[in-house]
Amino acid sequence: MTQPGTFHGVGLGPGDPDLLTVQAVKLVESAGLLTYFAKAGRRGNARAIVDKWVPKGKPELPLWYPMTTESHFGSDVYVDTLREFYERSVGAIADVLDMGKDVVLVCEGDPMFYGSFMHLHARLKDRYPTKITPGVTGMAGCWAAAGLAMTWGDDQLSVLPGTLDEDDLVERLKATDAAVIMKLGSNFPKVRKAIERAGLTARATYVERGTMAGEIVLPLAERAEDSAPYFSLILIPGEGRRP
């Protein structure tokens, strides 16, 4: 029987192709199959980041998210549709692993930090050898781009989704030393208000497309728009011990 291949989750970092790790580049080069998530019919951002490192003729498989715009996030239809999509993706990947080939799934940022990869990893890790190559997170790319020193001495850092309700956000912002607020989108006005109520607007920086083309770094107070794209977040650095 053929020895099964290894399933790799490989972080690509925040967007600049030179922020791939050396190990990520090696795995992209040696992959039996290169795979990645993308919107249906698109090449997607992960594939764009990795482009300059993909050898000509490398077998590839895009994993196209199902269209779910019509169904609400937490709804049964949404959950079922996604579940079927993940199961189907797992099937396709398992077929290649069974042929003894390594499958490399490349992901924006770090694969184990809010990564869709995790849904496939959870289904495959007990059936096949799996290996994780960590990546530079999107938030680290953003604080580097902004030149912000995030955590000092014994600072605590809270990573908060903008989906939390306003009062909850205010309370958590008041209780932490440093914060990263992700998943802004249409939550942006609410998040902005929560930061204002916590008295932190003067310390907050808005970053869009950190390390990528079209990068924007602004004091939060100077950001006029009332929504924010997918690749954006707000950074509030800590103020801990600094001799």
- For residue 49, report the phi and psi dihedrals to the nearest 5 degrees: -60, -40
Token pair listed for 146 = 């902004």
Which amino acid is residue 202, in one-letter code?
Answer: A
Cβ-proximal residues to 7 (8 Å cutoff; 6+ apart), any chain: 93, 97, 102, 103, 105, 120, 121, 124, 125, 128, 129, 130, 131
**Could you give the CA distance from residue 225 to residue 131 in angstroms, rounded to a whole number?**
41
Closest approach of Cβ 224 to its own copies, in Å? 27
Judged by CB under 8 A, the residue of 97, 164, 195, 207 near its own copies is 164
Measured from the Cβ of residue 21, the count of other Cβ atoms closer than 10 Å reads 16
15 belongs to the binding site for its own copies (CB under 8 A): no
Site string for its own copies, 190-209 (x = CB under 8 A): --------------------
23 binds its own copies (CB under 8 A): yes
Q: 58 or 119: whose CB is closer to its own copies?
A: 119
216 touching its own copies, by CB under 8 A: no
Contact 223, 146 (CB under 8 A): no
Q: Sketch the per residue contact string, 54 through 93, with its own copies: x for CB under 8 A, - otherwise.
A: --------------------x---xxx-xx--x-------
Which positions ≥6 away from 52 have C-beta within 8 Å?
Answer: 17
Rounded-to-10 torsion of CA 108, 110, 111, 113: -110
Per CB under 8 A, 113 contacts its own copies: yes
Pattern of binders to its own copies over 115-144, x per CB under 8 A?
Answer: x--xx-xx--x----x-xxxxxx--xx-xx
State the amino acid at position 12 in one-letter form.
L
Question: Which one of 114, 188, 206, 231 is in contact with its own copies (CB under 8 A)?
Answer: 114
Instruction: Count the residues of the shown chain that bind its own copies, applying the rule CB under 8 A.
Output: 68
**Are the C-beta atoms of 236 and 202 separated by less than 8 Å?**
no
Output 41 or 74, the one with its CB closest to its own copies: 74
Point out which span in 57-65, 91-99, 100-108, 111-119 binds its own copies (CB under 8 A).
Answer: 111-119
31 binds its own copies (CB under 8 A): no
Q: Which residues of 128-160 are buried (b: 16+ CB within 10 A; e: fewer)?
A: eebebbbbbbbbbbbbbbbebebeeeeeeeeeb
Identified binder of its own copies from the candidate list 2, 18, 41, 57, rule CB under 8 A: 18
Is residue 65 within 8 Å of residue 37, measured between CB atoms? yes
By CB under 8 A, name the binding residues for its own copies: 11, 13-14, 16-23, 25-26, 74, 78-80, 82-83, 86, 110-115, 118-119, 121-122, 125, 130, 132-137, 140-141, 143-145, 147-161, 163-164, 172, 175-176, 183, 211, 241-243
